[in-house]
Amino acid sequence: MSQSTSAASVHNSDQALKRLKARKSAESRFRFFGIGAIFAAVLMLGWLLNSIVGTGYTAFYQHYMTIDVELTESIVDPDGVRDPDELRKANFRKIMQEAIYARFPEVTDRKEKIALFKVISASGATDQARQMVYQNPSLVGETLTLSVPTSDDVDQLLKGYIDRNAPEARRKVTDQQIAWVDALKATGEIKSKFNWTFFTATDSRDPELAGIAGAVVGSLMALFVAFVVSVPVGVGAAVYLEEFAPQNRFTDFVEININNLAAVPSIVFGLLGLAVFLNFFGMPRSAPLVGGLVLALMTLPTIIIATRSALRAVSPSIVDGALSLGASHTQAVFHHKVPLAAPGILTGSIIGIAQALGETAPLLMIGMVAFVTEIPSTLTEPASALPVQIFLWSDSAERAWAERTSAAIIVLLTVLITMNAVAIFLRNKLERRW
Amino acid sequence: MNIKSATAILFGAALAFGCGEDKAEIKAPVATAEAADEIRIVGSSTVYPFSTKVAQEFKNKTGHSVVVESTGSGGGHKLFCEGAGGDTPDVTNSSRRQKKSEFEKCVANGADEVVEVKIGFDGIVLANAIDGAAVDLTLKQVFQAFAKQVPMSDDDCTLRDNPYAKWSDIDASLPDATIEAYGPPPTSGTRDAFVEIAMEGGAKKFACLAALKDEDSGKFKKVSHTLREDGKWIDAGENDNAIVQTLTNTPTAIGVFGYSFLDQNADMVKGALIGAVEPTFENIAGGAYPISRSLFFYLKAGNVDVTDGLKDYALEFTSEEAWGPGGYLEEIGLVPLPDEERAKYRKAVETLTGYSQ
């Protein structure tokens, strides 16, 4: 009895209560900070996503104008020979100018005509007519109904990025152009459509014609090369270092260097790639093959470190069990340890590769920061990459690039999230619990 | 089951890909050894938008593939002059004239017939937010505002660390606002042109510095090219869009960038008058606006035989439809050359005449 009272008094003494209170408030303080940290992180992420999606989503649709185009023979093919190569060089600009002047016959003033032509995308419309005639020379002389992109300024106006109430001198479109556009919109000649161009075209100097297809293919090719080079080499190196290598000064030295390499700025790998792959081996500039090799070098340390820690996390009793049943060391490692570490290895590899997807700096040195007019079809053809495309677009003057830059970022983020989701899926599927 | 499938995914797939990879690597050098099947262009980021526009039009008209890299003028000349033949760039863009040293390197490495083509002008503007005060500066005031060391008067040539904190400290007629400028970093061609034209031009307005230029041009360069480092001049990175954004948020700040960004953002920023001349298209073309520079591209005449379509690309660039008044390059902000100069450089392209320094 007396013991319990004394114990109670020890726990209920003023000092004890004070200590208890201090412990409790320390705990609630920590919880508060934790929640605050999560809240701050979510807020920043939300802000980032919101600003990117908010500016970017409008790039997924675009305004097109339906227009009757007469392919006048005297302009397109004055000699009447229908040679596709000559037809391709013909003055289609004039054809498109005549087409839009014909829609607004009341416009006669030269300056007004120039302004009128700026309603449609000069290169977009011209090239559409050009390629149709090049593919099918028999179209010369006929009248076609085409759906051509409007110019970037008109598109921006209709998307509400240009303030109609601003003084005329301060905006890119004149009052008269606004009147034409509104008239065309009212009759349904200007319509908004899903922007397929953005997904099927290569880079272009004109925002309304620019797409990410070339950059996406370039990025995928480079990632493919990076994956097939860095994963086998990285996993192999890690397995050897972890399981077979003798513990001596040399392996310690190698290990320290691998850890250091993981922290080297990525531009350094670009310089290495320039010196080794381009200058020494004479590989072509701007090729996804070289880009992939450089990115592989960059992800190698990440993969080695992830693989080693995954191998270390496998319970030693598994290997002991295998050995005690008569398996050789190699069998124990490859039949039991590596498969059990596979989820961790895969996660590390995919995250390493996903990191490589976002890199621009190493690609600068090997010439992938470039404007490429064609979608690459082999690993040695010149290509750009998605982050490079974002970088180049963000530095362009026209206002319409802002939404396209954000849209390209949305695509990049989607790819990254998909890759991480695959990593998580594989980890959960392959993970073995007991 | 799981264990086996995991092994299969990791090693089976990776090894299978690995084999394919080896073949690709063996193929690579062979592919380069064949003639170049695309036109390779490197160089200035200022000329890049014009060069890509021509590349795009040229591709549409002929189907030839063109690759334009944005490496900066210096980087472009370095790559360009590394040698001759299909493995080297066919064209380099430049926002300044080729230096003598670069030309000599070209000649030494076998690219001895280089065609120089001046393509037009580009203005460098000082701009502030559209709602900010109107700014009218002389080159001398620009120098006084941004140089690290300035003489205190025309006669007294002792250089002192720049004491001016406000514009009104330089001249009472200027606004009573803190000097704050966002401009391109030293790696940029726009910065080179800004210090060479605006800062040197302003420095020469001091009689004593003009005298220094004749005596010791190296020292003069150092004085006029060194911008202040006390936070009044801020290197804002290569991205001119970022500078425009900053200006709208900071109405008293001045930004330094190329004319095309002013042209595209006329609803957000306005150009400062330099010597009472407004940075407009006409004033840059006519030469009245003092801070403007010439843009160039250089072409290896020897590569015309190895690179299909190279000469046609140059002809497209120098066609009236492209670089002439009203051409598609003017639409995106290139200020065309006068008629005689266009005729001169067009002829150089037609005859593939090399230049010399």
Say what the ipTM of the complex is.
Answer: 0.84
Reference A225, options A380, A75, A395; nearest CA is A380
Report whether B153 contacts B159 (CB < 8 A): no
Q: With bands split at pLDDT 50, 70 and 90, how would you rate the model's confidence at B22?
A: very low
Residue B160 β-bridge partners: B150
pLDDT tops 60 at residue B18: no
Nearest CA in chain A to B257: A397
Q: How confident is the model at residue A6 (pLDDT cuts 50, 70, 90)?
A: low
Q: Which two tokens stand for residue B148?
A: 């690290």
pLDDT (0 to 100) of residue B30 = 36
Interchain contact B100–A (C-beta under 8 A): no
Task: Tell me the C-alpha to C-alpha distance, in Å, between residue A248 and each of A156, A241, A309.
Answer: 65, 11, 20
C-alpha pair distances (Å), A366 with each of A263, A384, B220: 21, 11, 38
pLDDT class of B331 with cuts at 50, 70, 90: confident
**Cα A71 from chain centre:** 40
Mind listing the domains of chain B with CATH numbers? 34-122+294-351 (3.40.190.10), 123-293 (3.40.190.10)
Chain A residues whose CB is inside 8 A of the B49 CB are 205, 396-397
pLDDT > 90 in chain A, percent: 64
Structure pTM? 0.83
Cβ contact (<8 Å) for B57 and A374? no
- For B143, phi then psi, to 5°, come to -60, -45
Q: Which helix (H) or strand (E) holds B66?
A: strand B65-69
Give, to the nearest 10 degrees, the angle between helix A122-135 and helix A92-103.
Answer: 120
Give the C-alpha separation, B115 to B93, whole Å: 12
Does A371 contact B10 at a Cβ distance shorter than 8 Å?
no
Query: Which residues in chain A are closer than 8 Å to B317, comparing Cβ atoms?
Result: none
B172-194 mean pLDDT: 85
Name the band, by pLDDT with cuts 50, 70 and 90, for residue A396.
confident
Higher-confidence residue of B14 and B166: namely: B166
What is the 3 state secondary structure string of B195-249? HHHHHHHHHCCCHHHHHHHHHCHHHHHHHHHCECCCCCEEECCCCHHHHHHHHHH
Q: What percent of chain B has pLDDT over 70?
A: 90
Cα torsion through A144, A147, A151, A156, rounded to 10:
160
Shortest CA gap A212–chain B (Å)? 15
Question: Residue A232: closest CA among chain B residues belongs to which residue?
Answer: B14
d(CA A275, CA A253): 24
- Please tell me the distance from the alpha carbon of residue B153 to that of residue B158, in angstroms, as a whole number: 9
Cβ separation of A205 and B332 shorter than 8 Å?
Answer: yes
User: Is any Cβ of chain B less than 8 angstroms from the Cβ of A122?
Assistant: yes
Quote the pLDDT of residue B256: 92
- What is the rounded distance in angstroms from the CA atom of residue B348 to the CA atom of residue B346? 5
pLDDT at B241 over 80: yes
pLDDT digits (tens, 9 = 90+) for B131-160: 888 889 999 999 999 999 888 877 777 888
Distance of CA A86 to the CA centre of its chain: 38
Nearest to A351 by CA among A423, A418, A413, A263: A423
The helix (H) or strand (E) run that includes residue A342 is helix A338-357
Catalogue all structural domains in chain A, each as residue range(s) with its CATH number.
Answer: 61-194 (no CATH), 213-430 (1.10.3720.10)
Is A172–B57 a contact, with Cβ atoms under 8 angstroms apart? no
- What pLDDT does residue B15 have? 41
Instruction: Note whether B139 and B290 are within 8 A (CB).
Output: yes
Residue of A nearest to B69 (CA): A370
The span from the CA of B132 to the CA of A276, in Å, is 52
pLDDT at position A4 is 55
With CA atoms as reference, the chain A residue closest to B55 would be A373
Three-state SS at A192? strand
Mark yes or no for CB contact B61/A130 under 8 Å.
yes
Instruction: Residue count of chain B, please give it.
Output: 357
Is A283 in the B-facing interface, judged by CB distances under 8 Å?
A: yes
The predicted-structure confidence for A52-99, as pLDDT tens digits, reads as follows: 999 999 999 999 999 999 998 888 888 888 888 888 888 898 899 999
